[in-house]
Amino acid sequence: MDAFLQERIKVNGKAGNLGGGVVTIKRSNSKIVITSEVPFSKRYLKYLTKKYLKTNNLWDWLRSFELHYCQINQDEEEDKD
């Protein structure tokens, strides 16, 4: 799925162009972590996830999946120090 996301995520209107490090995708065991320096909508990620499940005929077999959206503001933490 991480390869699918790397091919399909659009940055500045171009698919497969992760913005030269603006969007990073990391995989560890059963989790895929997407980190973005620009605003990235959860709805777009849900759309891509559903599209992946449907293209690989997994939509009928997999009934539930979780997407967690965590906004981490490192700039605010640095300002406090």
Nearest 5 degrees, angle CA 27-CA 50-CA 39?
Answer: 65
pLDDT tens readout for residues 61-77: 766 666 766 776 665 55
For β-strands 10-11 and 23-28, DSSP reports them as unpaired
Helix (H) or strand (E) holding 78: helix 74-80
2-80 adopts what CATH topology? Gyrase A; domain 2 (3.30.1360)
- For the chain, the structural domain boundaries read 2-80
pLDDT tens readout for residues 9-47: 888 777 877 777 788 888 888 888 888 888 888 888 888
Secondary structure letter of residue 52 according to DSSP: H
Give the SS3 label for residue 51: helix
